């Protein structure tokens, strides 16, 4: 069955793009020019606000499309971990994560540009990280792998060396909960062809 609507990803994230390609989706990439909010909201409200904002900004530029906005954060206790801005911030994040059970929370928003219907859902995964030595932290930071990642590490790369276990959706930690996305697209009457 051929879908009559286009898919548009409102993100330039290489990980999200790769995941969508891996499941065989035909889509356009049109990153949203949206300033993410990062204060005074709970983690769930924050990712919901950002995913909706990204999808809305990009939806205005497309017809006959389903626009996908996504936002992901790491959370330790009450501390929200976005992408680190510099080496010092990245190290501070790793120190917080070391030996912790933390949450990775993502929101996906899909907007139908014709009907204006919007659907937003949240996914939470629990990640258990090993206790990191000072040397391990410095080596990981020097690799540069976590520079543009929420919470400052990549579970799909060298960061996997320090992850004891996860509870929940692995792909959520990568940056896009695939199972939830499929269910949401199905709700929007979009079939992923295998």
Tens digits of per-residue pLDDT, 37-95?
A: 666 889 999 999 999 999 999 999 999 999 999 999 999 998 999 889 898 999 999 99
CA atoms of 112 and 175, how far apart (whole Å): 22
Where do we find the tokens 């990439």? Answer: 29
Residues 6+ away with beta carbon under 8 Å from 67: 8, 10, 30, 55, 58, 59, 110, 111, 113
Burial degree of 111 (CB within 10 A; 0-12, 13-18, 19+): buried
- Choice among 26, 30, 71, 147 that is catalytic: 71
71 is an active site residue: yes
**Among residues of the chain, what percentage have pLDDT more than 90?**
86
pTM of the full structure: 0.92
Domain 6-187 fold is: Maf protein (3.90.950)
Q: Which contiguous run of DSSP H or E holds residue 83?
A: none
């Amino acid at each position: 069955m051929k879908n009559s609507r286009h898919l548009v990803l409102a993100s330039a994230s290489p990980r999200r793009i790769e995941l969508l390609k891996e499941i065989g989706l035909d889509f356009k990439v049109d990153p949203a020019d949206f300033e993410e909010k990062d204060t005074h909201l709970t983690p769930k409200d924050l990712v919901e606000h950002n995913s909706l904002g990204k999808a809305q900004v990009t939806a205005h530029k497309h017809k006959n499309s389903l626009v996908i906005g996504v936002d992901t954060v790491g959370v330790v206790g009450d501390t929200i971990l976005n992408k680190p801005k510099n080496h010092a911030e990245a190290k501070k994040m790793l120190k917080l994560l070391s030996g912790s059970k933390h949450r990775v929370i993502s929101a996906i928003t899909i907007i139908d540009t014709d009907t204006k219907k919007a659907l937003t859902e949240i996914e939470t995964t629990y990640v258990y990280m090993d206790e990191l030595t000072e040397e391990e932290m410095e080596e990981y930071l020097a690799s540069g792998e976590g520079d543009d990642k929420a919470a400052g590490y990549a579970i799909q790369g060298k960061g996997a060396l320090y992850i004891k276990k996860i509870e929940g959706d692995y792909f959520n930690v990568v940056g896009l909960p695939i199972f939830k996305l499929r269910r949401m697209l199905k709700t929007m009457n979009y079939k992923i062809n295998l």
